[in-house]
Every structure is written in C-alpha cells, then in structure tokens.
Structure 1
Amino acid sequence: MATATDRAVRPTGTDGERGERRRRSGLDRAYYWMVVPAFILFFIFHTLPVLQGVFFSLTDSPGYGSWNFVGLSNYAALFGDDRVRSTYLFTFQFALVATVLVNIIALSVAVGLNGKIKFKNTLRGVYFIPNVLALIVVGYVFQYLFNQSLPAIASSLGIERLSTSILTDPSLAWIGIVVMTVWQAVAFNIIIYIAGLQTVPIELYEAASIDGASPWTRFWHITMPMIWAFFTINMVLSLKNFLQVFDQVIAMTGGGPGTSTETIAVLIYRGGFQGGEYGYQIANAVIFMIVIMVFAVVQLRVLRREEVSA
C-alpha cells in the first residue's frame, strides 16, 4: 500500500500526458522566442518613430536645431491652408481614377488569360514584369516618352495638340502620371484576379451555358460573386497605394507645372525636408495617415457587406 510520501513525489498523469505537457511547454517557449523579438523590432522601427512623429507634430521644429511646443496650432493651420486643400483634392481625384482604371483593366486581362488561349503561362509572366521594375526608373522612362517620343510622333502625323509634351500642360500633366501608374500597377492586380478566377468551379460555367446564359450574365452572376473577396483586396490596396503616390510624380513632373500635380506625399516631403516645415508637415502626415486608415476601414466594411450579400 502506497504511503502519503510516495503519493506526494509520484508524478501525476500517464506517460502520454506528461509528454504532451512537455511538448506544449516547448511550443510555448518557441512561440515566445519568435514573437517577442519580432515585437521588439516592430516597436523600435515602426511604433516608436510614429509616436515621435506625433510628438513633433505638436512643435514648430524645422527638422534640426531648437524647437518650441506649439500644441495643436499646426493642425489648425492645415485646415486653412489652400495649398494643402488643393493637394488633397488632386490626390483623391488621382487615386480614384487610377483605382478604377487599374481594376477594370486588370480584371479584363485576367479573365482573358483565364480562358483557353495559347501561351497563357508565358503571358502571365510578361504581364507581371512591370511590377518588378523600380517606380522611379519607370517614371523617368515615361517622362522621356511624353517629352520626346510622343511629341515627335504627333508632329510627324500632324497632330498639333500632342506636338508638345502633355507634362508641361497644367491641365493634362496628370494624365501622363495616370498612364504610367496604371501601366505599372495593373500587373499585381492581374495576378490577384487570376488567383481568384482559378477558385471558381468550372461546373458553374457549364451549367450556366446549358441554361443559355450569355457571357456577360455568367460574368456578373457567377464570376464576380465568386471572386468578390479578391476584388475587395485589390480595391483596398490600390486606393491605399495611389493615395500615397510619390515616386511617379517626382520622376515625371516634380509636382509641376507649378503645383498642378503636387500630391500629399510630395508636399510633405518638400515642406518637411526642404522647406523647414518639419513640424507642420509631420502634422499633415499624421492627418494623412488617419485619412488613409478611415478610407481603408470604410472600403473594407462596404465591400465585405457586398461580398456577404453576393
């Protein structure tokens, strides 16, 4: 008969249970060893700079030297700044146009590539090439095309309206930036849409064809509902990226002619790092960050509601 001392020192549970506890303990330690360093790095290189930026947005710092605490005066001044309002308006218009065009073109190409065509895999690779090119390099290439090649071709064809670069026209310069941005950005969206189209069961299309549904009907009542989650991803990412447009503008127009193509990111860069308005433009960046977050949340809620109803 076991004594009380024997029961006190005897390990509880079966060998399998003790092994399971040891395995779980090892997994817990491995989990913390992976998560804690990542959290520390994220805090140091992301969260901490954001908090520092929010603090400096409450100062009149020029980006160097001494500074004074000014509270919310930077934020109040932003709402009365005509240049800030015009850059926000231009950026929103640009992002809306580019988002719509990119998703229309990408979805059209993806549907075509998903069909029965020759060299389908090769074409997928070709269409993805623009996405791996540096934006600043592509921007300078398109700048040369719009400043040199296109005017020369238009002059030889007698097209007077295009015989001069559209990048020098305040009312047309944004079109050149949109063309370059759409050409470069559409590649990534095509890949996302192709991945979504491959999840649609072919039996649905066969059944719809037997019922006499037209291609347009099959697209709206089968394809779109089935890939709506992928459509949501592309719409949110596209709008977010285009609201932050910077490289394209710097490479092609520099924000000109004048300030006609100046975006929020360009204004923050110029004013904060070149114009001695570091604290003021940091406040602008904080507001811009909040705006992007609000747009993303609203987009996700609206589009996901449509996804559920579809």
Structure 2
Amino acid sequence: MVIPAVLLFATFHTFPALQGIYYSFTNWNGINLEYDFVGFKNYIHLFKDKVVKDSYIFTFSFAIMATALVNAISLVVAIGLNAKIKGRNFFRAIYFLPNILGVLIVGFIFNFFFTNILPTIGERLDIQFLMVNILGSEKYAWMGILLVVVWQACAFNIILYLAGLQTVPGELYEAAGLDGANYWQQFSKITFPMIAPFFTINMVLSMKNFLMVFDQIVAMTAGGPGHSTTSISLLIYKGGFQGGEFAFQSANAVIYFLLIMFVSIFQLKILQKREVDM
C-alpha cells in the first residue's frame, strides 16, 4: 500500500527536484532543447546579481518580522481564549476563520482594500496618511503585505498554542496561586515551559512558511513597485518561467532550499535545547 504513494512522491517531487539540480549546472533557458554545461557559473553569478541579493535581504527580513509578530500575537490571543470567558468557543472559531480562506483570494481582497477603499476613507475623513495607497510605495508596500500575512497566519498558530495550553494541569496554577505567584511568574515558570514544544513547532513552521512567501505578494504587489517586495520564491518563478533564466533560477532554488533547511535545523537545535534547559 505504501508503494503507490512512494511512486507518486518520487514522480512529482523527488525526480523534478533532481532535474532542477541537474539543470542548475547548465545554461538552459527552459524553452530550447539545446543547452550546454557551465559548471558552477550560475552559482557564482548568483552572488553578483543585485536583484537576487535584494530579494534575499527582503525575504529574510520579512520572515523574521512576521515570525516574531505572529508568535507573539498568537500566544497572547491563545492565552486569552483559554481563559474561562463566555462564548470562548465562538471566538475560537472566529479566530480560526482566516486559516480556511484561500491565500490568493485574501490577497486580492486586501489589494482592493488598500488601493480603493482605504484611500477613499482617508479622503472623506481628511486623514492624510490614509489617502496614499501603501502598495504603490517602494518604502511601505511591505507593510501591507506583512499585515495580511500576519493576520492570516495567526489563525493556525493560535490553534496550536491552544492545544498546548490544554496540556497544562490546572493544579499547577492553583499551587502557584497559593504560594503567592503573580500572573507573570505563573506564565514564565509554568505556562511557557510547559508549552515550549508547541512554541518550537510554531517558530520553525512560521519561519519556513514566511521564507517561502509567494501568494500574498503575487496578489498584492506582484513583487513591485520595482523589485521592492520581490521574494525569493517569486524571483525564481518569474525569472525561471517567464524570464528565460531557468538554469540560473534552478541554481537559486538549490541555494534557497539549502538555506531553508539550515535555518530550520538551526532553529530546532536551539529551541529544543531551550526546552531541555527549562
């Protein structure tokens, strides 16, 4: 029963990945049948290309900010939803809704919101900073994308943190309360150490997902204005499939894969060591 799944995985994942590595050592443009081997020429040019360099800087900066914001907001909201308040199941469902919405659809909706609705509101209320479409600004376009990405990503992270909070025995809080521990002490000494494995999972998954950000950028800015919001994934797609740089972007994809793998392993080692220390 495992053989069909293995064959499908190898056909649609492993084989194309190996093909990409092979083509990264050629000068194939993705269209013509003829190509030559160029060795590490594509990899050397990667480090000299300013657009590639800017896309890496943007992607990693974006991923770090988004990961920090998503996990901080998600943890705070999850703790609030875990409290005994009326209608908490209703609020849990509301907070999870963004996760079931299509990423591209959400991106197009917010594109329309930033481009048309928000400037109109700004004009009617005479609020200067709302009148400008931030998606058309090289300096501020990333903020609009970050807002949408964080809003949608929090939904999944909140659910994971809620699952972690359910594993913390209530007796620990009762004992800590009797010993005079305040809220912060209970959080730092009981809650966070107990949900540390969930924090590790969320941090690793968030960082990996944000390093691969693609859909929201396609829907909201298409990498513009200029190249100010071009992520690595979008650069590989546009250059490889639309710009005749298939081999060059294949080399970029190989480096990209190795970096994501390294970052994920590094996070796991650091965060799991922290779990043991706690």
Q: Same fold (TM over 0.5)?
A: yes
Seq. identity, %: 55
The range that moved more, 155-164 or 206-215, is 155-164
Asked whether 1:193 is paired with 2:158, we answer no
Number of aligned positions between the proteins? 277
Equivalent residue for 2:84, pick from 92, 104, 116: 116
Cα distance, 1:162 vs structure 2: 2.2
Q: Does structure 1 residue 235 correspond to structure 2 residue 203?
A: yes
Amino acid in structure 1 at the alignment position of 2:263: F
Identify which of structures 1 and 2 has the higher relative contact order when contacts are C-alpha pairs closer than 8 Å and 6+ apart.
2
Residues 187-230 of structure 1: CA deviation (Å, up to 9, x unaligned): 00000000000000000011111111111111111100000000
User: The residue matched to 1:301 in structure 2 has which SS?
Assistant: helix
Q: Is 1:173 aligned with 2:138?
A: no
Task: Find the partner of 1:293 among 234, 239, 261.
Answer: 261
What amino acid maps onto 1:61 in structure 2? W
1:234: how far off?
A: 0.3
Q: CA deviation at 1:139?
A: 0.2
Q: What is the CA-CA distance between 1:298 and the residue it aligns to?
A: 0.0
Q: Which residue of 2 aligns with 1:29?
A: none
Q: Which amino acid aligns with 2:265?
A: V
The residue identity in structure 1 corresponding to 2:54 is S
TM-superposed CA distance for 1:41, in Å, is 2.4
Equivalent residue in structure 1 for 2:22, among 55, 70, 88 = 55
1:1-310 to 2 correspondences below 5 Å? 34-65=1-32, 66-310=34-278
Displacement, 1:123?
1.3
Letter in 2 for 1:176: G
AA at the equivalent of 2:177: S
Q: What's the offset of the Cα at 1:92?
A: 0.4
1:103 deviates by: 0.5
Superposed CA deviations along residues 160-210 of structure 1, whole A, max 9, x for unmatched, are 122110111111000000000011110000000000000000000111111
Q: Give runs of ≥4 in structure 1 deviating > 4 Å.
A: none
For residues 80-138 of structure 1, give each alpha carbon's deviation from its aligned partner in whole angstroms, at most 9, with x where no partner exists: 11110110000001001110111111111100010011111111111111101111000
Unaligned runs of at least 5 residues, structure 1? 1-33
What amino acid does structure 1 have at the position aligned with 2:209?
N
Partner of 2:225, secondary structure, is: coil
- The higher radius of gyration belongs to 1
Q: C-alpha separation between the residues in 1 aligned to 2:123 and 2:37?
A: 57
SS of corresponding position for 1:103? helix
Residue identity matched to 2:16: P
3-state SS of the aligned residue for 1:268? helix
Q: Which amino acid aligns with 1:296?
A: S
| Secondary structure class of the residue paired with 2:269 | helix
CA distance in 1, matches of 2:273, 2:138: 40
TM-score scaled by length of structure 1:
0.88
Letter in 2 for 1:242: F
Report the Cα distance in structure 1 between the residues aligned to 2:67 and 2:15, rounded to whole angstroms: 32
- Measured in 2, the distance between the counterparts of 1:130 and 1:87 equals 27
- Tell me how large the CA RMSD over aligned residues is: 0.9
Distance in 2 (CA, whole Å) between partners of 1:143 and 1:222 is 42
2:27 alignment partner, SS class: coil
SS in 1 for 2:138: coil
